[in-house]
Amino acid sequence: MNQEEITALFDQQAANYDKQWQKMSAIHNGMYFFIESLVAKLPANAKIICVGAGTGKEIQFLAKRFPGWTFTVVEPSGAMLNICRDALAKQGMDSRCYFHEGYLNTLHSTDRHDVATCFNVSHFIVDIAKRTAFFAEIADTLKPSGLLIGSDLSFDIHAQNYQSALALWFSVMSDADISAENIEKMKNAYANDVAILPQHEILSLIERAGFDSATPFYQAGLIQAYFAKRK
Ligand SMILES: C[S@@+](CC[C@H](N)C(=O)[O-])C[C@H]1O[C@@H](n2cnc3c(N)ncnc32)[C@H](O)[C@@H]1O
């Protein structure tokens, strides 16, 4: 999918997005549990950039726990960003955010951040060189030694057990009330529009993009979370 197609896809999904994924929130909550320890020693006035923030779940989590932190919110889908902004406004957190509707390359800011988050975004970039360049762009938004925390779909799709893992993953989604129609669309997307890479390949492309010690810290189903430090 090109950038216009991705934006259109999420514009179309936005209204129903949080409801659709509500019952899968245990996965994110488990990941946030680890992240809280990972970021606990950062300065009280840390600056965070959230790339592909979607409806803003990670921002709500971090903003609540770290009341002095401020956020650069990068999201190309206007519809997703509106929901994100409204949800943060309801919780009185929007004044701590700068909202950018667009991709990272249109964010003309020289601000450097302590942390970049990028959850479930980079797997939409199928071309390895472009995906590496995307992480390099994220590195540019960070202070030296700044922390990247992210997650992506990950598995060795050529391994014998991939089909079993995939079957369980879709069965979990179905039990979480994701409609059969949407599951069918996802199966299609996984085969054609999303790059599901083994853990070591994701970590290695992050390191080639200008990060040190990319480290996996959490896995649930096909979601793999990792962190790395900017060189
Ligand atoms: C699957 S959603 C994840 C949203 C949120 N991070 C979460 O985990 O709940 C992916 C989001 O990333 C955005 N996105 C896709 N490609 C992107 C890119 N190259 N740069 C920034 N955002 C992107 C989409 O518009 C969408 O809102």
**What is the distance in A from the centroid of ligand 1 to the CA of 143?**
22
- Residue 109 pLDDT class (50, 70, 90 cuts): confident
Beta strands 47-51 and 113-119: pairing type? parallel
Task: Please state the rounded mean pLDDT for residues 220-226.
Answer: 97
- Residue 154 pLDDT class (50, 70, 90 cuts): very high
CATH level 3 topology of 3-230: Rossmann fold (3.40.50)
pLDDT at 178 (0 to 100): 86
What are the sequence ranges of the domains in the chain? 3-230
**What is the distance in A from the centroid of ligand 1 to the CA of 53?**
6
Mean model confidence pLDDT for the chain:
96
Task: Please report, rounded to a whole number, the percentage of residues in the chain having pLDDT higher than 90.
Answer: 90
**What is the distance in A from the centroid of ligand 1 to the CA of 124?**
8
DSSP structure string for 132-197 = HHHHHHHHHTEEEEEEEEEEEEB--TTSTTHHHHHHHHHHHHHHTT--HHHHHHHHHHHHHT---B
Q: Is the pLDDT of residue 38 over 90?
A: yes
Return the number of other C-beta atoms located less than 10 Å from residue 186's C-beta.
Answer: 16
Residues 6+ apart with CB under 8 A from 111: 47, 72, 141
- Per-residue pLDDT of 88-102, as tens digits, reads 999 999 999 999 999
Q: Is the pLDDT of residue 8 over 90?
A: yes
Q: Is the pLDDT of residue 177 over 90?
A: no
